[in-house]
Amino acid sequence: MAEFKFSDFKKMMTLALSIMLVQGVLALLVANAANAQESLMTALDHDQDGLISLREAVSDKDLLENFNKIDTNDDGFLSLDELDAHIAAQAKD
């Protein structure tokens, strides 16, 4: 039977705590990204239809420059799902 060493336990606990910390940070980043997209939608969706039109996007330079790239279904509007997908794609790069 292998002998239990306190140093091994300490290493395992350090690893476990590190993993939990990384998971917590990732959860915060995802939540912040979602909140940012919802805030952007609230700020720019002047007619409150749940979509950002090209006319509504003109007040955000970055959004306007990437409008056609983000509008994946080519309907002329940006949905919250399209904004989320764009942010997720940027996070992978």
Structural domain contains residue 92: yes
**pLDDT reported for residue 1:** 59
Q: What crossing angle do the helices spanning 80-92 and 6-44 adopt, rounded to 10°?
A: 140
Q: Residue 81 belongs to what domain range?
A: 44-93
For the chain, what is the domain count? 1
Q: How far apart are CA 12 and CA 1, in angstroms?
A: 19
For range 73-88, the mean pLDDT: 91
Highest-confidence segment of 13-17, 36-40, 44-48, 85-89: 44-48
Structural domain contains residue 83: yes
Q: Which helix (H) or strand (E) holds 78?
A: strand 77-79
Phi, psi of 47 (to 5 degrees): -90, 0
**pLDDT reported for residue 70:** 94
HSE-CB of 40 using CA atoms within 13 angstroms: 25
For range 3-21, the mean pLDDT: 80
